[in-house]
Structure 1
Amino acid sequence: MMSKFSSLSPAQQEAVLNGAALNPPKGYTSNFDDPPNREAATNAFFFLCLALATLAVFGRLYCRWILLKQYSLPDFLFIAGYALLIADIALVYRMAPVPVMFVHLWNIRQRDFIIYLRSVFITSEVYLFNITFIKVAILLDWIHIFMPRGTRNFLFWAASIAIFVNVGFYIGIIVANQVACTPYEYAWNKLIDGNCGRANTLDATVAAGAFNIVSDVVILLIPQRVVWKLHMPRQKKFGISIVFALGLLAVTTAILRFVSSLKHAKSPDFTYDFSEILITGCAELTCGILVGCVPSLPKVFASANMNGIKHKLSKSRLWSSFSSSQKRSSPRSMHSRPPSLELVPRGRAGLFHKLDYQATGFSESSTDSHIPVISGRIYQTTEFHTTETCGPSTFEH
């Protein structure tokens, strides 16, 4: 009947548009006015995802742009991903003039279902762009954090190949969805004459779900080998791995989305089953943002705590008198100051020369009587590399 919709009379067309999009099962009656749904619960979930993503993204930007004065491509990719997440949630919030989240298709009119399918088509493309931006940003972060400039090792090549594969795959899925149907409107309006013979969009959705799981696992594993080879205490290594373990949440949500895609592909109850895909997809995008941005939050909180402590101390008389005495007792001569770190910039990483105090002499005017006076010599230096980031930091002695 759908293929002959254009041949129906106006009254018959109106009857089809006002009828149920799916015949109800035996024993059920369509309820268009107030169907059972979970709109309130799903809206609360989407709000939670948006709140977590907002905290994570703005925390990262504050850390990198305000505290460290650093700007990088992943920052802007996360901003793009965050903006698309907002757009995705907004689309889901108003997918149709009637409630659709966990609403059975036989409780939705055909005219509302057409509007809903158009929103599904748009939000699916937004999701693909968003997941691409987020995954590329995370992989670029891995290269930035763990790779000194000019180095080409396993992590660099693994991350670079993963970026290439992810971008190529998702662009391919986006293009397939765009060219699948003729005419273009047939992608969401099955009442008009047309076909989707160029590509099977349901198969593309399932393929994207399987690919998400594999790529999430790869992104999670790429930095682990480097992390456990860092020269730092085992407890700190474990802490960094816990941060990366946030990626397990992304893998879990990707698996759940894949299962929902398989269920959706075999079910005629489109609206009810696609609701699960929308929820798990939003959770997956949020987890991806958390993986890339949460490592910045401890530095933000530490900065806030230090500023608060300094503010309180600055108001105390004890701190004021201590600062004044320090200023009066500090000679202005260069010879009275202990040696400090001398920085020789070299790209992102810096080359530092640390003077070992116990083997360094000062002039006779030095107020530090416990340090031996050995004029004009440095007996020992220690060279080390350090990189300051808003995420897991690297240190190589």
Structure 2
Amino acid sequence: MSSVRMSAVAAAGMVVAVTAVTGCAEKSEGKGSSGAITVTATDSKCEVSKTSFPAGHVQLAVQNKGSKVTEVYVYTPSDKIVTERENIGPGTRATVTAEIKAGTYEIACKPGMKGDGIRQKITATGKGAAKKTDPRLDAAVASYRKYAQEQADLTIPAVQKFADAVKKGDVEAAKAQFATSRIGWERTEPVAESFGDIDPKTDTREDGLEDGQKWTGWHRLEKALWKDKKIGSAEKTLADQLVTDLKDWQKRVGKADITPTSMANGAKELMDEVATGKVTGEEDRYSHTDLSDFKANVEGAQQAYELLKPVAAENDAALTKELDKQFTAIGTLLVQYRKSGSSSGVEFVSYDTVGKADRKKLSDAVNSLAEPLSRLAAAVVAK
């Protein structure tokens, strides 16, 4: 979901610490250690105390001292996302464990969660990435790569049905296919976002457009179907473009840079997507099919977790016990909002019929799952 999660007001300040991971994650998140690289960000600066650190597993301990939600990214020179953490609330801390290979990168501080961010160049030195890995983690990565490809492959025929309905001018048929066409994408969205250029073309909401950006993709068509209630020549062209862009994603999934820590962080990112877009009703604001996306995000996060669980359980049994509990709880809760006997192609009730009290239950369940998920990456690489 390439869009503004909240109003684009710059955060007043934020501190990031990067440390080599030599053991379990710190119990108190965000405090860093004596070897930390501190990055101090304000509305106009992103100052780095050290511009190099050893390659391998590193830890980003983030503290948001600003007044608005913010986020932090590590980018390759070609703007591929190495790791990220979104939805860092004012006055809160977050810790991100990532595998960073030797090379040059940029840390981007994004006050207001919009734009390219305020960037500083950094360098990962040495041969940390060549370190011997647990064969179970190698297998987990291979299985997750297969899963991501399967989801992309399943998306194409589903989105083609949606596009065909749009091109026929059949509003109701297109509506029925909309939610289904998004499931594979939502399950593996962090992989798609890692490429940098696909997500903005396919999944941007109107309030997430950058200056000069043409609005294309699912949500542009969603607005036409539910708000404008008509399909014109422009929408038919956009339907074909959506298929083309998603076929590009399908071809590139196999080349994605996937690591155990990116899988774990991706699971957390999926829950951030739920918290900032689905629970609020902002994601599918015209169709109100947010719960379908919600379920797909949870399924994708659980798939990554289950593949990493054998190693994580060995390193932190209490964490995996809690994650098992929270995944079960959120799955049970979602069942309550399923439509019975529906033939419309929509699995869940319209989100605009979900009241404030129920939305709070969903939000609480997301938060209860997201917190332990934020510690999964550290458990995966713990000695």
| Bigger strand share | 2
Give TM-score scaled by structure 1 length: 0.27
Give TM-score scaled by structure 2 length: 0.28
